[in-house]
A = this chain, B = another copy of it.
Amino acid sequence: MNSEFDIIQQYFDWQPSSDSVAIGIGDDAAVLNLSHRQGQQLVISVDTLIEGVHFPKNTPAEAIGHKALAVNLSDLAAMGAEPAWFTLALSLPESNQAWLNDFSAALKQLADQYNIQLIGGDTTRGDLSLTLQVMGFVETGKALLRSGAMVNDKIYVTGTLGDAAIGLAMLQNRLDASSYTQKARHFCQKALNYPQPQHCISQIIKHYATACLDISDGLLQDLGHILNASKVGAQLDLSSIPLSKSALELGRNQALPYALSGGDDYQLLFTVGPEKEQQLQNVLKDNNNKDLKISCIGKIDDKNEGKITDYLGHVINTAGYQHF
């Protein structure tokens, strides 16, 4: 058995590649330079993942390492913030070398990809759970909030929805995986275990969006958060909800509930005013990057504050995943 000190030193004491870290792992606290952050605000988010709640038992260590950081980076993307640092609190039933190797390698790979530095950690013995706190920076006053949606704004999402929820349903045998192609099974499993934070597109849409969040609890519930914060309602065009080819193997009607309420998408949901919509479309077209896919799925209205209706005016139930 290793001591807590050894675990941090052995698996997580990566040399910081940024001079923003004056003192990293190894003292009572990290010390971070802010001298080149004039005109910026600090953006902070914290998320816990617990085995059996946020990921199934027997999820591979590398998937846990990736997902734990990815869902936190997704919160920074939702604010339009640039990643800077993170801390890791890891609770483990035992010090398992193979597990720690796989976990820390995946964590480091994603951290390097998004240029975010691990600056502090705490390991404890207990059931498997992780709490990550990510920190980033945004130009003062430019953070994308939930509260800025205005009547007549269009509602957009990035990527496709429901894939991760379908992957989970296959894993838990609520869907018969053998009915689908291997490609679809693999795609949905990857969407569940290896979500990709939408930072690239976030750095574009932050100049156009009036409100934004990342979809973690399901489209309807998360749209409800924007509507409540912005004191508006919304009309959704259910036929425009973007579904992947893999999801469509279920048939559109069977796939749609996963896209509406499944959760774990980590795509961005955002609103854009009519005067900026064309500009945004042009920028994305010029960018010519097929990963930067966005879909208009409806518009903000003033008919039913906090309520979501379809284009026939029928109220759509927003109940999604609840932790309690």
**Chain A interface (Cβ within 8 Å of chain B)?**
1-4, 6-7, 22-23, 26-35, 37-38, 40-48, 50, 52-54, 75-76, 78-79, 81, 85, 87-89, 91, 94-95, 119-127, 129, 131, 133-136, 138, 140, 143, 145-147, 213-214, 229, 322-324
Tell whether, in the assembled complex, residue B229 and residue A323 are in contact, meaning their CB atoms are under 8 Å apart: no
Residue from the list B121, B129, B322 in contact with A4, Cβ < 8 A: B322
Tell whether, in the assembled complex, residue B31 and residue A138 are in contact, meaning their CB atoms are under 8 Å apart: yes
Within the assembled complex, what's the spacing in Å between the Cα atoms of A28 and B85? Answer: 17
Tell whether, in the assembled complex, residue A120 and residue B45 are in contact, meaning their CB atoms are under 8 Å apart: yes
Within the assembled complex, what's the spacing in Å between the Cα atoms of A145 and B26? Answer: 10
Residue from the list B23, B46, B78, B127 in contact with A122, Cβ < 8 A: B46
Whole-angstrom distance from the CB of A180 to the nearest CB of chain B?
Answer: 31
Tell whether, in the assembled complex, residue A124 and residue B7 are in contact, meaning their CB atoms are under 8 Å apart: no
Whole-angstrom distance from the CB of A12 to the nearest CB of chain B?
Answer: 12
Residue from the list B6, B28, B143 in contact with A213, Cβ < 8 A: B28
Closest to A214 in B: B28
Give chain B residues whose Cβ lies under 8 Å from the Cβ of A76: 29
Whole-angstrom distance from the CB of A96 to the nearest CB of chain B?
Answer: 11
Give chain B residues whose Cβ lies under 8 Å from the Cβ of A145: 23, 27
Residue from the list B125, B133, B213, B214 in contact with A324, Cβ < 8 A: B125
Given A23-B143, A28-B214, A131-B89: A126 and B46 within 8 A (CB)? no
